[in-house]
Amino acid sequence: MTHDHAAPAAPAADPRFTFSFTAYDDLPDGARWSTWLDVDPLCRGPEPRPGWVVTSQGAVDTELGVLKTGKEADVHLLERADPHDPAQSVVMAAKRYRSPEHRSFHRAAGYTEGRSVRRSRDERALKRGSTWGRQVAAGEWATAEWDALVRCHLLGLPVPYPVQVDGTELLMEWVVVDGEDGPVTAPRLAQARPSPALLASYFDQLREVMTTLVHSGLVHGDLSAYNLLAAGDRLVVIDLPQVVDLVGNLNGADYLMRDCTNVCTWFRARGLEVDEHALFGDLMAHAF
């Protein structure tokens, strides 16, 4: 006599121990895994963060090309997107600083007066001009701009939102205006032809920005129509690595006067009656 014994049914899987995953294909040339989680938390943008910031661990960074070249850095467009979550996708500006021997910017000493290097080893390398020292120098400029962007953002000033800094690379908001085929980079103020009313509004906005900076003890240091973006009816301030301490830097007041002269000269040439000495006096009244 035989007995059929059915195998006992497998117990139901405990959902707490059920995992699923998706395999990603190899990344193509010009792409890398997102570096968001690779950087220190203090090197990520201040909270509350805009909803467009992509924080997915599965996101991929893809190079889209060079946006502009500059004296000390080049700016590229970089898309960060999660291939399995279409809602998590954004195009950012990636500013990458060059080492000193590849720059055409040679006025660093005046701007860096009063700044300190975080580690004594790095400071010695900077003074010796070693290979490591040159790399540190490039990173210091990226960090300086990061610190300035974060501080300005927290002050409520119109600057690109700083997403993250990683060594010599700074990721930030891509400031755009509407174009015929979609968003395009906002033009520099020097390229804009604003109406008289908008011109006056731009100057009022700029004066407010400079007043807030000075009230916080800061000077842009290289302010001109080339470091301002005309994003529709608002101005956005860019290129902030050389921000100086108005009091801590012996040249602080001179840099402020030069900023006033640069911007007033541009606005006056377009028909707005403004005076750099009056602007400088108004700003200094807010400094102390």
Give catalytic residues, as residue numbers: 222, 239
Residue 281 in tokens: 């006096």
Q: How far apart are CA 11 and CA 3, in angstroms?
A: 24
Residue 258 CB contacts under 8 Å (≥ 6 apart), including other chains: none
Q: How far apart are CA 126 and CA 103, in angstroms?
A: 16
Residue 276 CB contacts under 8 Å (≥ 6 apart), including other chains: 257, 260, 261, 263, 264, 265
Residue by residue, DSSP assigns 41-55 as GGGBPPSSPPTT---
Q: Which whole-number Å values give the CA distances from 171 to 34, 122, 157, 216, 230, in the listed order?
A: 12, 24, 18, 25, 20
Q: Is there a cis peptide before residue 48, judged by omega within 30 degrees of 0?
A: yes
Q: How far apart are CA 275 and CA 268, in angstroms?
A: 8
Question: Of all helices (H) and strands (E), which one includes residue 213?
Answer: helix 196-215
The DSSP 8-state label assigned to residue 225 in this structure reads T
Amino acid at 42: L
Nearest to 70 by CA among 215, 240, 233: 240
